[in-house]
Structure 1
Amino acid sequence: MSTPIERFKNGLLALFLKSNCPLCDRPAEGECCAACQRQLQRCQLAKPDNFWTGEVPVFIWGNYSGVLKRAIAALKYDNQQHLARPLGHWLAQAWLKSSIATPVKKLTVVPIPLHPLKLKKRGYNQAELIAQNFCDFTGYKHQPLGLERIRETEAQFGLSAQAREQNLADAFRISKSFGKHLPNSPVLLIDDIYTTGATVRAAAQILQKQGIQVYGVAAIATSKGQFHSS
Protein backbone atom coordinates (compact mmCIF):
# COMPACT_ATOMS: atom_id res chain seq x y z
CA MET A 1 0.00 0.00 0.00
CA SER A 2 1.39 3.43 -0.89
CA THR A 3 2.15 5.78 2.01
CA PRO A 4 1.08 9.46 2.17
CA ILE A 5 4.70 10.45 1.48
CA GLU A 6 4.81 8.26 -1.63
CA ARG A 7 1.49 9.71 -2.85
CA PHE A 8 2.84 13.23 -2.28
CA LYS A 9 6.03 12.43 -4.22
CA ASN A 10 4.00 10.91 -7.06
CA GLY A 11 1.84 14.02 -7.14
CA LEU A 12 4.89 16.25 -7.43
CA LEU A 13 6.28 14.11 -10.23
CA ALA A 14 2.97 14.33 -12.08
CA LEU A 15 3.14 18.13 -11.82
CA PHE A 16 6.69 18.55 -13.09
CA LEU A 17 7.22 15.65 -15.46
CA LYS A 18 5.40 15.14 -18.71
CA SER A 19 4.22 11.59 -19.28
CA ASN A 20 1.88 9.74 -21.59
CA CYS A 21 -1.83 9.62 -20.87
CA PRO A 22 -2.75 6.23 -19.32
CA LEU A 23 -5.99 6.20 -21.32
CA CYS A 24 -4.82 7.06 -24.85
CA ASP A 25 -0.98 7.14 -24.63
CA ARG A 26 -0.79 10.71 -25.92
CA PRO A 27 1.47 13.24 -24.13
CA ALA A 28 -0.06 14.55 -20.91
CA GLU A 29 1.04 17.09 -18.32
CA GLY A 30 -1.40 15.96 -15.63
CA GLU A 31 -3.03 12.69 -14.67
CA CYS A 32 -4.38 12.32 -18.21
CA CYS A 33 -4.37 14.36 -21.40
CA ALA A 34 -6.75 17.27 -21.93
CA ALA A 35 -8.82 15.35 -24.48
CA CYS A 36 -9.40 12.40 -22.16
CA GLN A 37 -10.13 14.75 -19.28
CA ARG A 38 -12.89 16.39 -21.34
CA GLN A 39 -14.27 12.97 -22.27
CA LEU A 40 -14.24 11.89 -18.62
CA GLN A 41 -16.06 15.01 -17.49
CA ARG A 42 -18.75 14.36 -20.10
CA CYS A 43 -19.44 11.07 -18.27
CA GLN A 44 -20.78 13.00 -15.27
CA LEU A 45 -24.43 12.34 -14.57
CA ALA A 46 -26.94 15.17 -14.78
CA LYS A 47 -28.46 14.12 -11.44
CA PRO A 48 -25.88 12.30 -9.31
CA ASP A 49 -28.33 12.29 -6.36
CA ASN A 50 -31.08 10.64 -8.42
CA PHE A 51 -30.83 7.47 -6.34
CA TRP A 52 -30.51 9.12 -2.91
CA THR A 53 -33.33 7.06 -1.37
CA GLY A 54 -33.82 3.86 0.57
CA GLU A 55 -31.97 2.24 3.45
CA VAL A 56 -28.53 3.16 2.09
CA PRO A 57 -28.87 6.17 -0.23
CA VAL A 58 -26.48 6.32 -3.17
CA PHE A 59 -24.70 9.28 -4.80
CA ILE A 60 -23.16 8.45 -8.19
CA TRP A 61 -20.83 10.70 -10.16
CA GLY A 62 -20.77 9.05 -13.59
CA ASN A 63 -21.92 6.40 -16.01
CA TYR A 64 -19.79 3.24 -16.01
CA SER A 65 -18.98 3.01 -19.70
CA GLY A 66 -16.51 4.26 -22.29
CA VAL A 67 -13.57 6.31 -21.07
CA LEU A 68 -14.72 6.31 -17.43
CA LYS A 69 -14.79 2.51 -17.44
CA ARG A 70 -11.25 2.51 -18.88
CA ALA A 71 -10.09 5.01 -16.27
CA ILE A 72 -11.40 2.93 -13.37
CA ALA A 73 -9.82 -0.20 -14.85
CA ALA A 74 -6.49 1.63 -15.22
CA LEU A 75 -6.72 2.82 -11.62
CA LYS A 76 -7.48 -0.65 -10.29
CA TYR A 77 -5.44 -2.97 -12.47
CA ASP A 78 -2.69 -0.93 -14.18
CA ASN A 79 -1.24 0.81 -11.10
CA GLN A 80 -2.41 4.22 -12.33
CA GLN A 81 -3.00 5.43 -8.78
CA HIS A 82 -2.82 9.10 -9.75
CA LEU A 83 -6.17 8.79 -11.56
CA ALA A 84 -7.81 8.69 -8.12
CA ARG A 85 -7.05 12.40 -7.74
CA PRO A 86 -9.30 13.82 -10.49
CA LEU A 87 -11.96 11.17 -9.89
CA GLY A 88 -12.02 11.88 -6.15
CA HIS A 89 -12.06 15.64 -6.69
CA TRP A 90 -14.86 15.50 -9.28
CA LEU A 91 -16.93 13.29 -6.98
CA ALA A 92 -16.34 15.76 -4.14
CA GLN A 93 -17.17 18.77 -6.28
CA ALA A 94 -20.47 17.25 -7.40
CA TRP A 95 -21.23 16.21 -3.82
CA LEU A 96 -20.71 19.71 -2.41
CA LYS A 97 -22.93 21.20 -5.12
CA SER A 98 -25.80 18.84 -4.31
CA SER A 99 -28.58 19.53 -1.83
CA ILE A 100 -27.81 16.35 0.15
CA ALA A 101 -24.50 17.79 1.32
CA THR A 102 -26.20 20.80 2.93
CA PRO A 103 -27.84 19.11 5.99
CA VAL A 104 -24.52 17.73 7.29
CA LYS A 105 -21.50 19.81 8.25
CA LYS A 106 -19.31 16.89 9.28
CA LEU A 107 -18.97 13.39 7.87
CA THR A 108 -16.58 10.53 8.51
CA VAL A 109 -15.57 9.00 5.19
CA VAL A 110 -14.92 5.25 5.17
CA PRO A 111 -13.77 3.47 1.99
CA ILE A 112 -14.97 -0.04 1.18
CA PRO A 113 -11.97 -2.21 2.11
CA LEU A 114 -10.19 -4.91 0.13
CA HIS A 115 -9.38 -8.32 1.58
CA PRO A 116 -5.75 -8.37 2.84
CA LEU A 117 -4.71 -10.89 0.18
CA LYS A 118 -6.09 -8.74 -2.62
CA LEU A 119 -4.61 -5.63 -1.02
CA LYS A 120 -1.18 -7.27 -0.84
CA LYS A 121 -1.41 -8.32 -4.49
CA ARG A 122 -2.58 -4.92 -5.77
CA GLY A 123 -0.56 -2.85 -3.33
CA TYR A 124 -3.30 -0.30 -2.67
CA ASN A 125 -7.06 0.05 -2.27
CA GLN A 126 -8.52 2.18 -5.07
CA ALA A 127 -11.54 3.12 -2.92
CA GLU A 128 -9.18 4.41 -0.22
CA LEU A 129 -7.31 6.58 -2.75
CA ILE A 130 -10.59 7.99 -4.05
CA ALA A 131 -11.76 8.62 -0.48
CA GLN A 132 -8.51 10.41 0.41
CA ASN A 133 -8.84 12.77 -2.54
CA PHE A 134 -12.55 13.23 -1.83
CA CYS A 135 -11.65 14.30 1.72
CA ASP A 136 -8.81 16.54 0.55
CA PHE A 137 -11.43 18.49 -1.43
CA THR A 138 -14.35 18.42 1.05
CA GLY A 139 -12.45 18.68 4.31
CA TYR A 140 -14.31 15.68 5.75
CA LYS A 141 -12.50 13.32 8.10
CA HIS A 142 -11.00 10.29 6.35
CA GLN A 143 -11.05 6.99 8.26
CA PRO A 144 -9.22 4.65 5.84
CA LEU A 145 -9.18 1.71 8.27
CA GLY A 146 -12.72 1.99 9.62
CA LEU A 147 -13.77 -1.33 8.14
CA GLU A 148 -11.88 -4.57 7.56
CA ARG A 149 -12.68 -7.23 5.00
CA ILE A 150 -12.23 -10.52 6.84
CA ARG A 151 -13.57 -12.98 4.29
CA GLU A 152 -12.32 -13.29 0.74
CA THR A 153 -15.37 -13.31 -1.49
CA GLU A 154 -15.99 -14.43 -5.04
CA ALA A 155 -16.01 -11.81 -7.76
CA GLN A 156 -19.46 -10.22 -7.73
CA PHE A 157 -19.63 -9.96 -11.51
CA GLY A 158 -22.04 -12.50 -12.98
CA LEU A 159 -23.70 -13.39 -9.66
CA SER A 160 -27.42 -12.98 -9.11
CA ALA A 161 -28.66 -10.41 -6.60
CA GLN A 162 -29.36 -13.14 -4.02
CA ALA A 163 -25.97 -14.76 -4.60
CA ARG A 164 -24.25 -11.38 -4.16
CA GLU A 165 -25.91 -10.92 -0.75
CA GLN A 166 -24.90 -14.43 0.34
CA ASN A 167 -21.38 -13.93 -1.01
CA LEU A 168 -20.90 -10.88 1.24
CA ALA A 169 -22.44 -12.27 4.42
CA ASP A 170 -20.05 -11.69 7.33
CA ALA A 171 -17.41 -10.32 4.94
CA PHE A 172 -16.75 -7.13 6.95
CA ARG A 173 -16.05 -6.10 10.53
CA ILE A 174 -15.32 -2.88 12.38
CA SER A 175 -11.61 -2.30 12.89
CA LYS A 176 -10.42 -2.42 16.52
CA SER A 177 -9.31 1.21 16.58
CA PHE A 178 -12.58 2.39 14.99
CA GLY A 179 -14.59 0.29 17.42
CA LYS A 180 -12.84 1.85 20.43
CA HIS A 181 -13.34 5.40 19.18
CA LEU A 182 -16.69 5.54 17.39
CA PRO A 183 -17.17 8.57 15.13
CA ASN A 184 -19.23 11.49 16.37
CA SER A 185 -20.44 12.21 12.85
CA PRO A 186 -22.36 10.10 10.30
CA VAL A 187 -20.39 7.82 8.00
CA LEU A 188 -20.25 8.23 4.24
CA LEU A 189 -19.02 5.08 2.49
CA ILE A 190 -16.90 5.45 -0.65
CA ASP A 191 -16.50 2.92 -3.46
CA ASP A 192 -15.40 2.99 -7.07
CA ILE A 193 -18.34 1.16 -8.74
CA TYR A 194 -21.93 0.68 -7.58
CA THR A 195 -23.91 -2.20 -9.08
CA THR A 196 -26.61 -3.94 -7.05
CA GLY A 197 -25.60 -2.34 -3.76
CA ALA A 198 -24.91 -5.67 -2.02
CA THR A 199 -21.40 -4.63 -0.98
CA VAL A 200 -22.36 -1.29 0.54
CA ARG A 201 -25.40 -2.78 2.28
CA ALA A 202 -23.21 -5.43 3.90
CA ALA A 203 -20.73 -2.77 5.03
CA ALA A 204 -23.48 -0.43 6.25
CA GLN A 205 -25.12 -3.17 8.31
CA ILE A 206 -21.88 -3.82 10.22
CA LEU A 207 -21.56 -0.11 11.06
CA GLN A 208 -25.22 0.20 12.03
CA LYS A 209 -24.96 -2.78 14.40
CA GLN A 210 -22.37 -0.75 16.31
CA GLY A 211 -24.75 2.19 16.54
CA ILE A 212 -22.93 4.17 13.83
CA GLN A 213 -25.16 6.26 11.59
CA VAL A 214 -24.57 5.64 7.88
CA TYR A 215 -25.46 8.71 5.84
CA GLY A 216 -25.09 6.91 2.52
CA VAL A 217 -22.56 5.91 -0.11
CA ALA A 218 -20.80 7.91 -2.81
CA ALA A 219 -19.32 6.10 -5.80
CA ILE A 220 -17.57 7.12 -8.98
CA ALA A 221 -19.73 5.14 -11.40
CA THR A 222 -22.67 2.86 -11.93
CA SER A 223 -23.95 0.76 -14.82
CA LYS A 224 -27.55 0.96 -13.60
CA GLY A 225 -29.91 2.07 -16.33
CA GLN A 226 -31.78 4.63 -14.25
CA PHE A 227 -28.94 7.13 -14.60
CA HIS A 228 -28.19 9.35 -17.56
CA SER A 229 -25.13 11.44 -18.34
CA SER A 230 -25.39 15.20 -18.51
Structure 2
Amino acid sequence: MCEYCHRQLQRCQLSNPSEFWHEELPVFVWGNYGGVLKRAIAALKYDNKPQLARPLGYWLGEAWQKSPVAKESKKLTVVPIPIHPSKRQKRGFNQAELIAQSFCQFTGYSHQPFGLERIRETEAQFGLSVQERSQNLTGALEIGKSFRRNSPTSPVLIVDDIYTTGATVRSAAQILRKQGIKVYGVVAIASSKKGMMR
Protein backbone atom coordinates (compact mmCIF):
# COMPACT_ATOMS: atom_id res chain seq x y z
CA MET A 1 0.00 0.00 0.00
CA CYS A 2 1.37 3.41 -0.92
CA GLU A 3 1.97 6.08 1.71
CA TYR A 4 -0.86 8.26 0.37
CA CYS A 5 -3.46 5.43 0.59
CA HIS A 6 -2.14 4.55 4.03
CA ARG A 7 -2.73 8.12 5.26
CA GLN A 8 -6.16 8.34 3.60
CA LEU A 9 -7.28 5.12 5.29
CA GLN A 10 -6.01 6.16 8.70
CA ARG A 11 -8.15 9.30 8.47
CA CYS A 12 -11.23 7.03 8.56
CA GLN A 13 -10.53 6.06 12.17
CA LEU A 14 -13.27 7.00 14.63
CA SER A 15 -12.33 9.23 17.55
CA ASN A 16 -14.19 6.96 20.02
CA PRO A 17 -14.19 3.34 18.76
CA SER A 18 -15.68 2.05 22.03
CA GLU A 19 -18.71 4.37 21.89
CA PHE A 20 -21.05 1.36 21.53
CA TRP A 21 -19.31 -0.92 24.01
CA HIS A 22 -22.20 -0.55 26.51
CA GLU A 23 -24.80 -2.50 24.45
CA GLU A 24 -26.11 -6.00 25.33
CA LEU A 25 -23.53 -7.25 22.83
CA PRO A 26 -20.73 -4.65 23.12
CA VAL A 27 -19.26 -3.46 19.82
CA PHE A 28 -15.88 -1.80 19.15
CA VAL A 29 -15.53 -0.27 15.67
CA TRP A 30 -12.31 1.12 14.20
CA GLY A 31 -13.61 3.28 11.35
CA ASN A 32 -16.50 4.92 9.57
CA TYR A 33 -17.83 2.82 6.69
CA GLY A 34 -17.67 5.17 3.74
CA GLY A 35 -15.34 6.66 1.16
CA VAL A 36 -11.84 5.21 1.05
CA LEU A 37 -12.44 2.64 3.84
CA LYS A 38 -15.53 1.29 2.05
CA ARG A 39 -13.49 1.00 -1.18
CA ALA A 40 -10.61 -0.72 0.65
CA ILE A 41 -12.92 -3.35 2.20
CA ALA A 42 -14.57 -3.93 -1.20
CA ALA A 43 -11.12 -4.34 -2.81
CA LEU A 44 -10.09 -6.78 -0.06
CA LYS A 45 -13.20 -8.92 -0.59
CA TYR A 46 -13.97 -8.66 -4.29
CA ASP A 47 -10.76 -7.57 -6.05
CA ASN A 48 -8.50 -10.25 -4.55
CA LYS A 49 -6.49 -7.90 -2.31
CA PRO A 50 -6.02 -10.03 0.84
CA GLN A 51 -2.92 -7.99 1.74
CA LEU A 52 -5.23 -5.12 2.78
CA ALA A 53 -6.40 -7.18 5.78
CA ARG A 54 -2.99 -6.89 7.45
CA PRO A 55 -2.90 -3.10 8.06
CA LEU A 56 -6.65 -3.03 8.84
CA GLY A 57 -6.30 -5.76 11.48
CA TYR A 58 -3.19 -4.08 12.86
CA TRP A 59 -4.94 -0.68 13.20
CA LEU A 60 -7.93 -2.38 14.81
CA GLY A 61 -5.57 -4.06 17.30
CA GLU A 62 -3.71 -0.83 17.98
CA ALA A 63 -6.94 1.11 18.67
CA TRP A 64 -8.22 -1.77 20.81
CA GLN A 65 -5.07 -1.86 22.96
CA LYS A 66 -5.32 1.89 23.61
CA SER A 67 -8.95 1.60 24.66
CA PRO A 68 -10.12 1.16 28.28
CA VAL A 69 -12.26 -1.87 27.28
CA ALA A 70 -9.13 -3.84 26.36
CA LYS A 71 -7.71 -3.38 29.85
CA GLU A 72 -10.80 -5.00 31.42
CA SER A 73 -9.90 -8.43 30.02
CA LYS A 74 -6.28 -9.45 29.56
CA LYS A 75 -6.88 -12.84 27.94
CA LEU A 76 -9.34 -13.32 25.08
CA THR A 77 -9.98 -15.87 22.33
CA VAL A 78 -10.59 -14.24 18.95
CA VAL A 79 -13.12 -15.85 16.58
CA PRO A 80 -13.76 -14.45 13.09
CA ILE A 81 -17.20 -14.59 11.46
CA PRO A 82 -16.95 -17.52 9.02
CA ILE A 83 -17.92 -17.58 5.35
CA HIS A 84 -19.41 -20.61 3.60
CA PRO A 85 -16.80 -23.11 2.29
CA SER A 86 -17.97 -22.57 -1.32
CA LYS A 87 -17.45 -18.80 -0.99
CA ARG A 88 -14.07 -19.37 0.66
CA GLN A 89 -13.02 -21.65 -2.19
CA LYS A 90 -14.10 -19.07 -4.77
CA ARG A 91 -12.49 -16.11 -2.97
CA GLY A 92 -9.48 -18.02 -1.65
CA PHE A 93 -9.74 -16.58 1.87
CA ASN A 94 -12.09 -15.32 4.57
CA GLN A 95 -11.49 -11.59 5.05
CA ALA A 96 -12.63 -11.64 8.71
CA GLU A 97 -10.13 -14.43 9.42
CA LEU A 98 -7.25 -12.44 7.87
CA ILE A 99 -8.24 -9.33 9.85
CA ALA A 100 -8.46 -11.45 13.03
CA GLN A 101 -5.02 -12.96 12.33
CA SER A 102 -3.41 -9.52 12.03
CA PHE A 103 -5.38 -8.26 15.07
CA CYS A 104 -4.05 -11.21 17.12
CA GLN A 105 -0.47 -10.67 15.94
CA PHE A 106 -0.72 -7.16 17.40
CA THR A 107 -2.65 -7.98 20.60
CA GLY A 108 -1.16 -11.39 21.41
CA TYR A 109 -4.63 -12.93 21.81
CA SER A 110 -5.35 -16.52 20.85
CA HIS A 111 -6.84 -16.85 17.33
CA GLN A 112 -9.42 -19.60 16.70
CA PRO A 113 -10.32 -19.37 12.99
CA PHE A 114 -12.63 -22.40 13.25
CA GLY A 115 -14.52 -21.52 16.42
CA LEU A 116 -17.61 -21.03 14.25
CA GLU A 117 -18.65 -22.55 10.92
CA ARG A 118 -21.09 -21.41 8.26
CA ILE A 119 -23.06 -24.49 7.28
CA ARG A 120 -25.63 -22.86 5.03
CA GLU A 121 -24.91 -20.45 2.22
CA THR A 122 -26.83 -17.21 2.69
CA GLU A 123 -27.69 -14.46 0.26
CA ALA A 124 -25.68 -11.25 0.61
CA GLN A 125 -26.93 -9.20 3.56
CA PHE A 126 -26.53 -5.93 1.62
CA GLY A 127 -29.91 -4.39 0.83
CA LEU A 128 -31.89 -6.62 3.21
CA SER A 129 -34.04 -5.20 6.01
CA VAL A 130 -33.17 -5.89 9.66
CA GLN A 131 -35.82 -8.65 9.81
CA GLU A 132 -34.70 -10.18 6.47
CA ARG A 133 -31.07 -10.22 7.65
CA SER A 134 -32.06 -12.09 10.79
CA GLN A 135 -34.14 -14.64 8.82
CA ASN A 136 -31.34 -15.01 6.27
CA LEU A 137 -28.99 -16.18 9.05
CA THR A 138 -31.34 -18.74 10.64
CA GLY A 139 -29.48 -22.04 10.77
CA ALA A 140 -26.49 -20.63 8.87
CA LEU A 141 -23.88 -20.77 11.66
CA GLU A 142 -22.86 -23.45 14.14
CA ILE A 143 -20.08 -24.18 16.62
CA GLY A 144 -16.89 -24.98 14.73
CA LYS A 145 -14.66 -28.04 15.06
CA SER A 146 -12.13 -26.24 17.31
CA PHE A 147 -14.79 -25.54 19.95
CA ARG A 148 -16.55 -28.90 19.55
CA ARG A 149 -13.28 -30.51 20.68
CA ASN A 150 -12.31 -27.95 23.34
CA SER A 151 -14.31 -24.99 24.58
CA PRO A 152 -12.16 -21.88 25.11
CA THR A 153 -11.23 -21.09 28.70
CA SER A 154 -11.15 -17.34 28.03
CA PRO A 155 -14.03 -15.14 26.81
CA VAL A 156 -14.53 -14.83 23.05
CA LEU A 157 -14.08 -11.66 21.03
CA ILE A 158 -15.89 -11.91 17.67
CA VAL A 159 -14.22 -10.25 14.65
CA ASP A 160 -15.97 -9.09 11.48
CA ASP A 161 -15.10 -6.69 8.68
CA ILE A 162 -18.31 -4.61 8.66
CA TYR A 163 -20.90 -4.12 11.39
CA THR A 164 -24.22 -3.12 9.82
CA THR A 165 -27.33 -4.11 11.78
CA GLY A 166 -25.50 -6.60 13.99
CA ALA A 167 -27.60 -9.58 12.80
CA THR A 168 -24.55 -11.72 11.92
CA VAL A 169 -22.62 -11.11 15.13
CA ARG A 170 -25.74 -11.49 17.30
CA SER A 171 -26.41 -14.86 15.66
CA ALA A 172 -22.76 -15.88 16.29
CA ALA A 173 -22.88 -14.72 19.93
CA GLN A 174 -26.12 -16.62 20.52
CA ILE A 175 -24.59 -19.87 19.21
CA LEU A 176 -21.48 -19.46 21.36
CA ARG A 177 -23.49 -18.62 24.48
CA LYS A 178 -25.76 -21.66 23.96
CA GLN A 179 -22.59 -23.76 24.28
CA GLY A 180 -21.76 -22.03 27.57
CA ILE A 181 -19.01 -19.93 25.96
CA LYS A 182 -18.69 -16.40 27.35
CA VAL A 183 -18.77 -13.68 24.68
CA TYR A 184 -16.83 -10.55 25.60
CA GLY A 185 -17.94 -8.49 22.59
CA VAL A 186 -17.39 -7.71 18.93
CA VAL A 187 -14.67 -5.83 17.08
CA ALA A 188 -15.15 -4.68 13.49
CA ILE A 189 -13.18 -2.63 11.02
CA ALA A 190 -16.09 -0.44 9.97
CA SER A 191 -19.67 0.59 10.58
CA SER A 192 -21.91 3.41 9.47
CA LYS A 193 -23.43 5.54 12.22
CA LYS A 194 -26.81 4.44 10.84
CA GLY A 195 -25.90 0.81 11.46
CA MET A 196 -24.81 1.50 15.02
CA MET A 197 -28.03 3.32 15.91
CA ARG A 198 -30.30 0.29 15.34
TM-score for both structures, normalised by structure 2: 0.96
CA RMSD of aligned residues (A): 1.1
- Paired residue for 1:167, among 126, 136, 154? 136
- 8 Å contact kept, 2:117–2:143: yes
- Paired residue for 1:157, among 98, 121, 126? 126
Alpha-carbon separation, structure 2, partners of 1:48 and 1:103: 16
- Alignment match, 2:75: 106
- Paired residue for 2:43, among 62, 67, 74? 74
- Alignment match, 2:170: 201
Is the partner of 2:152 in helix, strand or coil?
coil
1:226–1:195: structure 2 CA closer, same or farther, 3 Å change rule?
closer
Look up the equivalent residue of 2:134 and give its one-letter code: E
Alpha-carbon separation, structure 2, partners of 1:119 and 1:220: 20
Is the partner of 1:35 in helix, strand or coil?
helix
Shift in Å at residue 55 of structure 1?
Answer: 2.0
Q: Which runs of 5+ in 1 are unaligned?
A: 1-31
- 8 Å contact kept, 2:112–2:146: no
1:143–1:226: structure 2 CA closer, same or farther, 3 Å change rule?
closer
After the TM superposition, which residues 116-135 of structure 1 pair with which residues of structure 2 at under 5 Å, given as runs? 116-135=85-104
After the TM superposition, which residues 3-18 of structure 1 pair with which residues of structure 2 at under 5 Å, given as runs? none
List structure 1 segments (4+ residues) > 4 angstroms apart after TM superposition.
Answer: none
Do residues 220 (structure 1) and 189 (structure 2) align? yes
Alignment length, in residue pairs?
Answer: 196
Alpha-carbon separation, structure 2, partners of 1:141 and 1:226: 28
Q: Which runs of 5+ in 2 are unaligned?
A: none
Is the partner of 1:136 in helix, strand or coil?
helix
- 8 Å contact kept, 1:195–1:224: no
1:154–1:210: structure 2 CA closer, same or farther, 3 Å change rule?
same
